Structure 1
Amino acid sequence: MRAPMLRTHCLLFIALLSILACAAATAAPRQLTAIEPLSGPGQQVALRLTLDGPAPDPRVFTIDDPARLSIDLPNTTLALSKRYRTIAQGPVQAVNTASADGRTRVVVQLTRLVDYRITRDGDALIVSFGSGDETTRDRTTTRPAASAGTATAGGNATAIQNIDFRRGDQDAGRIEITLNGDQAPIDVERQGNKVVATLPGIQLPNRLARRLDVTDFKTPVETIDAMARGDGTRLVITPEADANFQRLAYQTGNRMIIELQPISAAEQRRQAAEHPEYNGKKISLSFQNVDVRSVLQIIADVANVNMVVADNVSGTIALQLDDVPWDQALDIILDARGLGMQRNDNVITVAPLADIAAREKAKAEARQATNQLAPLQSEIIQINYADAADMANILQSNSVTTSRSFTAAPASGNTSPAYSVSGDALSRALGSNNTSTRAQRTSSATVNSDFDEHSLLSPRGHVTVDSRTNSLLVTDTAEKLDQIRSLIDRLDVPVRQVLIESRIVIANRDFTRNLGVSQTGVDSSRLNNALAAQNGGDIGSAYDANNGGYSVALPATNATSVLSSSIITDTFSLNLELSAMESENNGEIISSPRVITTDGREANIEQGREIPYQSGSSGSLSGTSVEFKKAVLGLNVTPKITPDKKVIMNLNVTQDSVGEFVPTSNGGSVPSIDTRSLNTQVLVNNGDTVVLGGIYEQNNTNQTGGVPFLRKIPLLGALFRSQSLERQKRELLIFVTPRILDTNFTTGGP
């Protein structure tokens, strides 16, 4: 009895193991090992997708724009060496693959949508494509797997669980439709100015049959209307008025995605350049071997324009155009026959392209000949803000690279240094590689210049610079004089100026530390430091990781000075800090120099002394001479005003001090100069303050006190003496504030 039961249990156990092994084999993921192009009959192209096991049921959907065929292979991983492969056969351009969450997607890039068919061949899938002659509608269709129905495993009809809207990348409007299954068809098409999505056989719950107003998301989508239609669902997507977008629809898992992506202005311009806009009246033409001149006459009658056709336009043409704008039809005919056209108001002239080019060249030569015969006129042009010589250089400059030197002699009858530069001399100058143009205001100047037909001066024109009145005497044709006046009016404008306010402060370390605490959090991205040190001066900076910026109180890495920089935006609080510093004897403002400079010009501020020293004898002369060396605190600032009224400052700070005296061979000595320097470029708002610090001075004071007479007694005197050592460390801070001056010479900053 027990033996049959034991045998039965063993058989059941073996059967269970077999079932589990089969299930494990079935659940094991397959690998996509190869994708190879195949040539089908006629013009057909096919792709072979090879797997290392039985091919799964694919889920397929297509995209209209851009044309794509996506094939999802569930329970499949990638085993390809390259995920992108160029095919370039028939309508198939390339194949791109990706794998995630146990699923592999094969995306076939097409030139346009064509018919396709997927068949099995052992462990492979064969995807066959048509020749590409089939026409497609302006819609995107996703197809469920061939073996799948529209019902879930439980037998319930597929239904929509949720409709959500999100703002995608680059302001795209993203509609997400969540289903209770992962296999459902969808048709997306454009009807007028709306996008309509139809989901046949998909039920819509009553709670989701509503309008979604998504205007606040700032995407091309304005509203979404979800409604039930028969046994399916319809979504009407209304974009914003005049919105330019491209649509994309696809399905991933149990989600359907419809995305409206805005088209940028640059993309619109590119598309407009590739596809010119035609807005003429639409016509239909169907001809076989008809004379080209007759077709052009028909187009002229339809467009109601006057058309002149050259005598050498001949030949026949066969065309079939249905409902196209007349201007597009005209372009097609002209391109087919190698013709061109010129339009002047309501008159169109049609001729071969070579004839049009020759005609334009002849017109240009005629204009040039006319300019050679045009009378010359002279005009004095007053230059108000710019330098007249610089303006003359601009008038004489052009784009060619060959030139020759010639002499600009002083103009007769003028006691001031005025020089005449002849355009004829420019036109004859050839052979030199010097392209500079320069008017020198000396008794005799050599001017190097170029000339070609693009120069503002004609070959017969010339310009004379009068430096006394800062004006130009220009002689040229009336047309050239008009161009020169227009250019000078645009260039001769006031240069903006910048007031550079600086304060040089000596403060103790407590003040600088407090100032650093109150001014932390400076944006380090606005600093672009290029630092250098000489003779033991360390250059460094401190970065506050918590605040993400530079602070004012930047400690030295050793006992020597450290030059550093940072930015303060609250100038009012800074003024209060400096006033409190002086009232509490924590420091003093030793200098407050101000200087005004123009945009792009360097301003220099120096404070210090020149050190005299004796130098040795010179030549055969005996004795010594006294020479000087500078030991100054120097500040060089070059401001540059940006279009958004910020200021870029190139700062160069030097701190020189007297070092050791070096003996010379004649018995004298020469002082050495210890130099510390900082070079930085910083972008600040108008009225912000840049702080340059890190120059320290340390004074050590020893004081001895005690009871008179008794403190000098040996041994016992120590009981009546006291000693104190006082160390005072102070820092030199330089505050630089740029303020843009308006045209009325008032500061535009806070």
Structure 2
Amino acid sequence: MAIAGKAPASSRISINAENTPVAQIFSLLASAKDLNIVVDPGIEQSLTLHLVDVEWQDALTIIQELTNVEVSHHANILVVREKASQDVDNDQAGFPFSSGQAEWEQKVFSLQFIEAAKLEKQLTALPFIRSGGKGRRFVDHDRQQLIVWDDAETLRKIEQWIALHDRPQPQIEITAQMISISQDNLRELGVSWFNEPSNIEPGKLARHEFTTSLGVAAPTLQVKTAITRIDSRLLFLELSALEQENQLEIIASPHLVTSQGRTASIKQGTEIPYQTVSGKNENPVINFKEAVLGMEVTPERVGQESIRLRLRLNQDVPGKVLQGDGKGPPSIEKQEITTEVVVANGTTLALGGVFQQQHQQGIAAVPWLGKIPLLGILFRKQARQHQKRELVIFITPRLLPMGNIP
């Protein structure tokens, strides 16, 4: 007796079996696909067959027909049982076939765009599913398949519902410019903030400015937004020109593409190392804490030409070390913004409200004269500069043509 299989997970297989127990043959088939297997202990048949380089599914079908067994596939588990025992204790076993339900059929739905697990949850809420009684559904996460056992009418309705919902999701391109700029230079870009929110009428998105409070009793941080139609290419050129004049700093220019309802994110910063001790011997251990500027955006198409953006912006900067010896974890000063806004396709959104304080101190002196003892004080002076800069993010979402999605 010899049984030979190709590499695991291969779609083709070779089997050379001489009077071999059927349970062993099915075990080989499961192994070739990296599947777990459960075999009914009542299956005691033996089989002789020689198969060379055949499709795995064809081999499974042939063996199933020859041995008069029932094979079902639940996620990554292959279940093999005698047909005669299908009507016994199946309700207790949790499998879909039970007495009085011989009219049930099995159908495998291969999904292309929607996640199988997400679809299964949506099906649970449908009226014709809730009233269907004891139908069974299994999700095969690896193959993006939904396996359903139910009556023919329910299967037909499920197929129609899947055809309506398993479609390409809108793809959304998100271009962002993250800058640090003084308030005076920000006004030169045509962005101005308001302290009170304006009334925004649905559908009128050409030009609005508003402020979103954090909703606390004494807010120390506000989300400030301005929505305007600015050509993103012209905006980039203007920002680049101001950067060359040292009037702003471009921190990052992420360019992202994501599906509707999927979160896209970017983080930029550093990991701060700090030392702790571990174990009885107090061995030193190096740990890290993130101090980053991060942005998360979740886009969702609204109507034909509008996009809802769920935005989260955080800036974490290193604070003081908590322990006196300087070896403990540093504190992290956090600023975070969470907001939601609807903008027209291609419209640029400016998001602000996170501030950076810059302090500079030095001595300005006349060369040589400033170093003269006693008299030099007349030729030098203390120079202090305090600048308040604002972190501003320009975000431009665009709907990609559906024709670009396979």
Q: TM-score range by the shorter chain?
A: 0.5 to 0.7
User: Shift in Å at residue 611 of structure 1?
Assistant: 0.9
- TM-aligned CA distance change 1:377 to 1:723, over 3 Å: closer
Amino acid at match of 1:384: Q
Structure 2 distance, partners of 1:474, 1:720, is 89
Q: Distance in 2 between matches of 1:460 and 1:507?
A: 63
TM-score (norm 2): 0.62
Which amino acid in structure 2 is aligned with residue 578 of structure 1?
A: L
Q: Which residue of 2 aligns with 1:648?
A: 308
The more displaced of 589-598 and 719-728 is: 719-728
2:332 to 658, 669, 673: 673
In structure 2, relative to structure 1, the CA distance for the partners of 1:724 and 1:598 (3 Å cut) is same
Please state whether the residue corresponding to 2:129 is helix, strand or coil.
coil
Show CA shifts across 1:361-389 (max 9, x none).
xxxxxxxxxxx788443333221111223
DSSP-derived class of the 2:159 partner:
helix
Number of the residue aligned with 1:381: 109
1:503 to 2:177 alignment:
yes
Query: How far has the Cα of 1:604 moved from its partner?
Result: 2.1
Paired position in structure 1 for 2:319: 659
User: 1:538 aligned to 196, 215, 220, which one?
Assistant: 220
* Bigger relative contact order (CA 8 A; separation at least 6): 2
1:8-46 Cα deviation digits (max 9, x unpaired): xxxxxxxxxxxxxxxxxxxxxxxxxxxxxxxxxxxxxxx
Instruction: Please show how residues 509-524 of structure 1 align to structure 2 within 5 Å.
Output: 509-516=183-190, 524=198
For the pair 1:733 / 2:392, whether they are aligned, the reply is yes
Partner of 2:286: 626
Q: Secondary structure at the match of 1:669?
A: coil
Which residue does the alignment assign to 2:352?
Answer: 693
Identity %: 36
Contact 1:392/1:465 (CA < 8 Å) preserved in 2? yes
* Residue identity opposite 2:328 in structure 1: S
Of residues 257, 268, 284, the one that matches 1:607 is 268
Name stretches of at least 5 consecutive residues in structure 1 with no aligned partner. 1-371, 400-453, 541-562
- Indicate if the aligned counterparts of 1:383 and 1:471 stay in contact, CA closer than 8 A: yes
Are 2:107 and 2:149, in contact at CA under 8 Å, matched by a contact in 1? Answer: yes
Q: CA deviation at 1:566?
A: 2.0
Residue of structure 1 equivalent to 2:212: 529
Q: Which residue of 1 aligns with 2:226?
A: 566
Q: CA deviation at 1:631?
A: 1.0
Which digits, 9 at most, give the CA deviation of each residue in 1:214-260, with x for residues without a partner?
Answer: xxxxxxxxxxxxxxxxxxxxxxxxxxxxxxxxxxxxxxxxxxxxxxx
Contact residue 532 and residue 539 of structure 1 kept, 8 A: no
- Judged with a 3 Å threshold, the aligned counterparts in structure 2 of structure 1 residues 373 and 614 are, in CA distance, closer, same or farther, namely closer
Please list, as runs of the form range in 1=range in 2, the aligned pairs for 1:38-437 lying within 5 A after superposition: 375-397=103-125
State the 1:461 CA deviation: 4.2
Q: May I ask how many residue pairs the two structures share in their alignment?
A: 295
Is residue 398 of structure 2 the alignment partner of residue 742 of structure 1? no
Q: Secondary structure at the match of 2:329?
A: strand
| 2:212 partner amino acid | N
Alpha-carbon distance change, 375 to 717 in structure 1, aligned in 2, over 3 angstroms = closer
Q: For residue 455 of structure 1, what is the aligned residue in structure 2?
A: 129
Following the alignment from structure 1 to structure 2, what is the Cα–Cα distance between the partners of residues 480 and 659?
A: 61
The reply on whether 1:590 has 2:251 as its aligned counterpart is yes
Distance 1:648 1:716, change over 3 A: same
Deviation at 1:633, TM superposition (A): 0.9
How far is 1:727 from its partner? 4.7
- Is contact 1:381-1:471 (8 Å) kept? yes
Instruction: Return closer, same or farther for 1:388/1:669 CA change in 2, 3 Å cut-off.
Output: closer
Query: In structure 1, what is the Cα distance between the partners aligned to 2:152 and 2:313?
Result: 53
CA distance in 2, matches of 1:657, 1:621: 33
Summarize the Cα distance change of 1:631–1:532 in structure 2 as closer, same or farther, 3 Å threshold: farther
1:471 is matched with which residue? 145
Between the aligned partners of 1:528 and 1:641, the Cα distance in structure 2 is: 23
C-alpha distance in 1 between matches for 2:110 and 2:266: 34
Shift of 1:744: 3.2
* Alpha-carbon distance in 2 for matches of 1:458, 1:680: 42
Does the CA contact (< 8 Å) of 1:456 and 1:484 recur in 2?
no
Q: 2:350 and 2:150 mapped to 1: Cα distance?
A: 54
Secondary structure of 1:468's match?
coil
**Residue deviations 1:332-361 (CA, integer Å, cap 9, x gap):** xxxxxxxxxxxxxxxxxxxxxxxxxxxxxx
- Matched with 2:73 is none
State the secondary structure of the residue aligned to 2:113. Answer: coil
Tell me the CA shift for residue 517 of structure 1.
5.9
User: Partner residue of 2:68?
Assistant: none
Q: For residues 310 and 191 of structure 2, what CA distance do their matches in structure 1 show?
A: 26
- Could you tell me how far apart the structure 2 residues matched to 1:651 and 1:482 are? 40
Q: Which amino acid aligns with 1:705?
A: A
Look up the equivalent residue of 1:389 and give its one-letter code.
A
Q: Distance in 1 between matches of 2:253 and 2:178?
A: 6
In the alignment, what sits opposite 1:484? 158
Alpha-carbon shift at residue 706 of structure 1 (Å): 2.9
Residue 486 of structure 1 and its aligned partner are, at CA, apart by 0.8
Q: Hey, what's the Cα distance between the residues in 2 that align with 1:701 and 1:575?
A: 33
Of 267, 278, 296, 1:636 maps to 296
Q: What is the DSSP-based 3-state SS (H/G/I as helix, E as strand, rest coil) of the residue aligned with 2:322?
A: strand
Mapped to 1, the partners of 2:298 and 2:176 lie a distance apart of 14
Secondary structure at the aligned position of 1:582 is classed as helix
Counterpart-to-counterpart distance in 1, 2:134 and 2:335: 57
DSSP-derived class of the 1:595 partner: strand
For the residues of structure 1 that align with 2:131 and 2:138, how far apart are their CA atoms? 12
Please provide the CA RMSD for this pair: 3.5
Q: Distance in 1 between matches of 2:168 and 2:119?
A: 14
Q: Which amino acid aligns with 1:653?
A: L
Structure 2 letter corresponding to 1:610 = E
**Given the superposition, is the C-alpha separation of residues 468 and 712 from structure 1 closer, same or farther in structure 2, using an over 3 Å criterion?**
closer
Instruction: Give 1:595's aligned amino acid.
Output: L
Alpha-carbon distance, 1:654 to partner: 1.3
Gaps of 5+ in 2: 1-99, 201-209
Question: What is the aligned partner in structure 2 of residue 549 from structure 1?
Answer: none
Q: Which has the larger radius of gyration?
A: 1
Other-structure match for 1:581: 242
SS in 2 for 1:663: coil
Contact 1:530 1:679 in 2 (8 A): no
Structure 1 contact 539–564 (Cα < 8 Å) conserved: no
Gap change, CA 1:700 and 1:537, over 3 Å in 2? farther
- How far apart, CA to CA, are the structure 1 residues paired with 2:385 and 2:122? 65
User: 1:683 aligned to 2:342?
Assistant: yes
Contact 1:374–1:477 at 8 Å: present in 2 too?
Answer: no
